[in-house]
Structure formats: C-alpha cells, structure tokens
Chains A and B, each alone.
Chain A
Amino acid sequence: MSAPALSAGRALRLAALSAAALVTVAPYLWMVSVASKPRDEIFSSSLRLLPHRWALLDNLREAFHRVPIGTLLINGAVVCGAILVIQVAVAIPCAYAMAKLRFGAARLMMGLVLLGLLVPIHATALPLYVAFRRLDLVNTYTGLVAPFSVSVFGIFLFLQFFRALPDDLLDAARLDGMSEAGIVARVVVPNSWPAVTAFAIFSVVAHWNDLFWPLIVVTDNRVATPPLGLFAFRAAESGSDYGALMAATLVITLPLVLAFLFAQRRFVEGITMTGLK
C-alpha cells in the first residue's frame, strides 16, 4: 500500500477521526493519569495530565493492599471462561440444527431466538434472582454463569455464519460416514473459527465488564468479579482514595487491553463480520 499524498480531504478526514478517537480514549487516559498521581495532586485545582510526582507504584501497592485483586482476576477469568465455553457448546449445535437441518419447529425456534434478542437481562433479572435464591445459588459461580449459558446472540451469529457453509460439504461428510454430531465437530467447527473468535471477543468483553448481574447475585467478595470488587471497594472507602481506585481499575482492565493489542486484527475482523459497526 503506497501512501497517497496528503490531500485536503484526506487531512480533514484524519483530523475528524483523530478528534473522535481522542474523545473516546480520553477517560482511559485520565484514569491512567489519576492512577499515577499522589492524593494531593488529584484534588488540586489545576488540570494536568502528567503528575508532578509519580505515585503509580504507591497507588498500585495501596490497591493490592486493600483490594483482593488477584482473587478478582481469577474470579473474572473463571466466570468469563465458563460462560464462553458453555455458550459456544450450546449455541453451535443449536445454530447448526437451525441453519442446516429441516425440522418442523425451525420457524418457531427462529422466532424464539429473535424474541430472545429483544429481551434484555434487566427484564428477567428479578425472577432469576428469586429463583436462584430458592435454589441457593446466590454467591456461587453457578449463579454468575447460569443465566448466560444460552446466548441468543451467539446462536444468531453462528446461524448467519453456518448458513453460508455449502450444503455439499455437509453432504460429503454424511457420505464419508459422519453422524450429525461428527459433522459439527469435524467439519463445522474447524471451518467456523472466525465466527467463534468474534463471538468469544464479544462474550468475554461483555461479561468481564458486567456489573449489573454480579451486583444482584453476589455479596461475598470471595466470588466477586472484577467490576463488582471495584464497586465494593469504592463504596467501602467512601471514594477518597481515587489514586488507588484508579490503579486497581488499571490492573483490572489490563487483561482486556493486552488481549485487544494482541488480537487487534481478529477483533476488527470479528466486528466487521457481524456487521454491527
């Protein structure tokens, strides 16, 4: 790709995009800035991005001292991992059946999936909570994972992807002696990595950052997810030590940021493929 001359229109577009990017990234930069400042500078009246005196290490030490960040990260990884594995394991066979097998209830199921896409978790949170209390699932990993085990979004995404798989390929697999389950495992999944990756990104980002459901179903810090842990920390400390809070936030967002930097290209591919942006 040769760099074209910087025409006026191109410069204008670049400027507009840069401005938008700056606006988007500003809060994150501010968070990093605050995490690096000692307490007196945070509350000073002057607006400075770079601190006079660097206090990032002090803030981090303080954060690790007061917040069980290790536990939070492990909880986050366990919950997001479990959610992702179960969602993929449920959504792929379901989407395969709906995309490629002919059966009577296919249209009804399609309607249910679309309906499911329309209902947000906030609408079902209360009845779910009541049920989970009865089942004694409050303050457990199961309670955090179970409501998300069926992802209609995942079914929908895989459905669209599987529809594009050629029927001949599946017929060839049948003639080669594979069962339908074998076809899913040996033909469909190996050819669906772009869809699985895209879905994994969406799922992990959404559930790593989710505060709403953990806030409802978890009160015990031992199973708290990262955002919930921070939330508890902020409330408990009455919000005076912003430096430590921001340092903790920095640590907790770091895995996603690193993952994004490593998998940037796939990330963009995934978003483009789903046609969401």
Chain B
Amino acid sequence: MSAFALRDIAKAHGAQAVLKGVTIEAAEGEFIALVGPSGCGKSTLLRIAAGLDRPDAGTVSMSGRDVTAVPAAGRDVAMVFQSYALYPHLTAGQNIAVPLAMRELSGAQRMPLLGPLVPGGRARRADIARRVAATAASLRIDGLLDRKPGQMSGGQRQRVALARAMVRQPGAFLMDEPLSNLDANLRVHARGEIVELHRRAGVPTLYVTHDQAEALSMADRVAVMIGGTLLQIGTPQAIYDDPAHVEVARFVGNPRINLLPGRLAADGAAVLAPAAPQEAGPGSVTLGIRPEALGLRACGPEVAAAAVSRLEFLGSEVLVFVRLAGSGEEAVAKMSPAAAAGLRPGCPVALAPAPGAALAFAADGARLPAPAPARIAAGAGR
C-alpha cells in the first residue's frame, strides 16, 4: 500500500489545462522529487496534494484513505514553502509550536492567558514546549527560539520552517522549492541536511524543485513533469541514463544533452548527419548524446565535421563548445583537461561519440529502442 498517492490528477485554470492526468504514488518513507521547468504544473500538483487546491478530476489518498475532499487543515501533511511562510508576529519557538497547539490543545486551552488554567492545559503545554525544544535541537536552532523571523537570516528561517513541518510526525512532507531562496553554498549544504532529516523521520516526501541537480542528488525517485504531463518517473540514474522522452533528456543534466539531427541506417545504426538535415523522412531521428559521451577527435584533414567555438575551464574538467559545420548547431563535450589540451578555438574537430552512448528519439519526442553505436555519416561532411 502506498503511503500517499495522486491518481489521474487533472486541473485546469479557465481554458488552460495545467495538469493532464498525473499519477504519482509514493511508498512508505520514499523521497520523490518532482522536477520540471517553471509553469509545468508541479506547484499546482503539490497544492492539490496539500489540500490547498481541489483537482478537477482524480483522487488523492493517504495511507489508503481517500482524502480528495478533505481540506488542508484535515489532512495529515506538513509543508515547507519557498518563502518559508513563517508567522512574522511570532517568535521562532512559537512558530514551531503552532501546528502542535492547533491540533493538540482545545480551544479553551489555546486562550492566551486563561489557557494554562484550563484542566490539562498546563501539562499539554509543557509537553509541546519539550517537543519544540527537541526539534529545534535536532536542527541546531535552539539558540534562535526567541527571535522573530525578521531578525533571522534566510538559512535560519529555512531551518525554522523545516522544524515547524517536522515537529509533529505528519503523514507526508510536501516541500515547495525550500532551497531556492538560499545562496549557492548554503543550498548544497542544506540538500544533504534535508536528505538526512528525511532519512531519520522516515516520512514520505514530495519535493518540488526546478533544479534538476537538486532532484537527482536528493531523491529516491525523480518525477519529471513538463507541460502538465508526467513524462517519466524513476530513479535518478534511470532518468539520466535512460530518458523516456526527448524533453526529459533535454531537462535533466548539466550541461544540457546534445540533441543532433540524425537518421537510422538500414542496419539499425544511428547516423549523425552533420550536414543540414534532409527532409524529415521515416528514418530521421533526433540523437541525444550526453556531453561526457561526446568525444572529440582533433582531426586530420579527412573529416572536419565541426569547429571548436570556445572552451570553458571548470577545474576538474573542460567544456568544449563546437559548432557543427553543416547545420550550424552547437554541441558541447565534457572532457578532462588533459584530453582538451590540444584544442583551441577555431580548431577543426570530428565528433566521436562513445559507442552506445547515443539515445534516439522519434519526431514526436518518444524514445526509440537503443540504436547501434553512432557513427558519423560518411561523405556527408564538407
């Protein structure tokens, strides 16, 4: 039984379909990253999972219970917002205590001054204070509990928001780009921390991000959404190595995958066509080759399929941008500094994809069966 499941979720804003039947099921304790470009509907899907929006069609269930019609307050989920959404008038400690106070104190016990006098109120409040302190300690923000959100840095606010979500053991965590307001250094550090917290809490998590690196590095499974459709869901490795759709291949990986015109030869081999593509015949495909699989041969005189346009030195590796002679398209190869040593801008090179590295996609974007190793079309060069 899945811990929580979104089935065939559809949602339209006016005439525009935002979600076109999306299904995601999370197993107990699973971390799923929902990734896609902005406007792909991932935040809408998260809001539907939270109960903040109603789907036009489809069902939301948690631990086998259908909660599609249950509003947010009645669902057992906790959410971390991109803006953190801390209550500005409350201190960090009070912020973290709110979800507990709302769920575990009666109306009378919540009253500002009389609350502690109501039977049971004092004991419950002490219990809440203890759990707030424990959660704060686990996130190392115990020194900040008396500060208001306005007096904290972005990283501290993010931790308080995490603590507010974690303090009660919810049925699911929903996170809406919780790291995108942090600076780059802090973001990489916080990634590891969230994964660690998730591992300790063991609560299924749906994590929305537009950053494919974040998704690949944190999640058990990555769901790639583009244009309101879930194109693929799978392990980070499967998403990267075996994309089901050309848009998935394009979105995942940095630098971006090279998508070059090609065709399938009669023997089933994929052939890179460095010249401008002929009319899109039945054999024409798009070939995707990851930058690290696109070798370059500093060429002799025979084939000058491309010319180096610029190099980017990144320390452990070098990005070599080349312009294809025929179509004028740009491709990028990632290689070690040693391999790139002889390359200079303007230098003619030949493309030498690693055997079996090319992924073939049909004109509609669907993935085609693995082609035979790519080769450069003979005689199609200059």
A interface list, Cβ under 8 A from B: 166, 168-169, 171-179, 182, 187, 190-191
Contacts and interface: CB of A to CB of B under 8 A. Distances in A.
Interface string B98-136: 110011000000000000000000000000000000000
A92 B112 CA distance: 21
B82 A176 contact: no
B108 to A, nearest CB: 14
Contacts of B88: 169, 191
5 contacts: A172-B79, A172-B85, A175-B50, A175-B77, A177-B99
Contacts of B75: 175
Given A174-B52, A175-B50, A178-B102, A168 B85 contact: yes
Contacts of A182: 102
Nearest to A171: B52
A169 B52 contact: no
Given A175-B79, A176-B102, A177-B99, A169 B73 contact: no
Given A166-B83, A168-B81, A168-B82, A174 B89 contact: no
Contacts of B78: 175
B301 to A, nearest CB: 62
B82 A179 contact: no
A171 B79 contact: yes
Contacts of A190: 87, 89
B71 interface: yes
B52 A166 contact: no
Q: Which one of A168, A175, A176, A187 has the greatest number of beta carbons of chain B within 10 Å?
A: A175
B89 A175 contact: no
B102 A171 contact: no
B145 interface: no
B72 interface: yes
Contacts of B72: 171, 174-175
Contacts of B83: 166, 168
A166 B83 CA distance: 9
B79 A169 contact: no
B87 A179 contact: no
Nearest to B74: A177
Contacts of B77: 175
A168 B75 CA distance: 17
Contacts of A166: 83, 85
Interface string B53-93: 00000000000000000011101011101110111110000
Most A-side CB within 10 Å, residue of B47, B51, B82, B87: B87
A191 B51 CA distance: 25
A255 B24 CA distance: 65
B82 A174 contact: no
B83 to A, nearest CB: 5
Residue from A166, A168, A187, A191 whose CB has the most chain B CB atoms within 10 Å: A168
Contacts of A179: 73
A171 B50 contact: yes
A124 B71 CA distance: 43
A88 B192 CA distance: 48
Nearest to A190: B89
A177 B103 contact: yes
A174 B85 contact: no
A168 B80 CA distance: 10
Given A171-B72, A182-B102, A191-B87, 19 more contacts: A168-B82, A168-B83, A169-B85, A169-B88, A171-B47, A171-B52, A171-B81, A174-B72, A175-B75, A176-B99, A176-B102, A177-B73, A177-B99, A177-B102, A177-B103, A178-B73, A178-B102, A187-B87, A190-B87
